């Protein structure tokens, strides 16, 4: 039973920039750059028939390519930080694509996503990292010049059941087509 999600791939040159931010944070498990992505909709563990239905439904998405801006770092989890992330500027085309994917997943019977969409790239998962260590890390590494890339497709990823972080496999890709 595959664990699926839709997302945007991070180009190698942007991934290289982000990978340079690795290190210097106790309790961090750094994600390999080839597994960097922006999750658009987590789907979860799905049987084969449902996976095929999802894959075929995603072909209905008809959107144009758009710019994605990676800007700065932050953390998730507040006083018990659980991840260091690169922030993605929430542009209108990105928000609209995510909303369409959410509607499609609900149309085939999946429960609504319980969390608000906050576009990001997870760089590290944190285990027993203190909020002070994370704050210190972010104060040193948190700012870097924005990187912009054009999203020309979104993909359906699969992941093995684990604590996250990959490896992720592209099961199918869906081009964003200029009109």
Sheet arrangement for strand 153-159: 37-45, 3-9, 153-159, 168-175
Question: Please, how many CA atoms are within 13 Å of residue 69, restricted to the half-sphere of its CB?
Answer: 10
The token pair at 57 is: 């439904």
Upstream peptide bond of 167 is cis (omega within 30 degrees of 0): yes
- C-beta separation of 98 from 112 below 8 A: no
37 counts as catalytic: yes
127 counts as catalytic: no
Report how far residue 130's alpha carbon sits from residue 67's, in angstroms, rounded to the nearest whole number.
35
Residue tagged active-site, from 2, 15, 37, 159: 37
Residue tagged active-site, from 41, 120, 125, 141: 120
Catalytically annotated residues: 37, 120
């Amino acid at each position: 039973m595959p664990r699926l999600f839709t997302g945007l791939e991070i180009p190698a040159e942007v991934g290289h920039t982000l990978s340079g931010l690795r290190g210097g944070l106790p309790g961090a498990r750094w994600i390999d750059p080839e597994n960097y992505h922006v999750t658009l909709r987590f789907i979860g563990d799905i049987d084969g028939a449902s996976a095929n239905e999802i894959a075929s439904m995603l072909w209905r998405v008809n959107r144009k390519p758009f710019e994605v801006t990676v800007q700065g770092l932050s953390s998730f989890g507040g006083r018990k930080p659980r991840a260091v992330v690169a922030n993605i500027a929430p542009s209108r085309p990105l928000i609209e694509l995510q909303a369409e994917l959410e509607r499609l997943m609900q149309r085939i019977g999946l429960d609504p996503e319980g969390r608000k969409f906050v576009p990001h790239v997870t760089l590290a998962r944190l285990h027993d990292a203190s909020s002070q260590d994370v704050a210190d890390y972010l104060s040193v590494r948190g700012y870097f010049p924005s990187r912009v890339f054009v999203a020309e497709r979104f993909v359906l990823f699969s992941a093995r059941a684990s604590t996250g972080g990959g490896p992720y496999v592209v099961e199918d890709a869906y081009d964003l087509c200029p009109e």
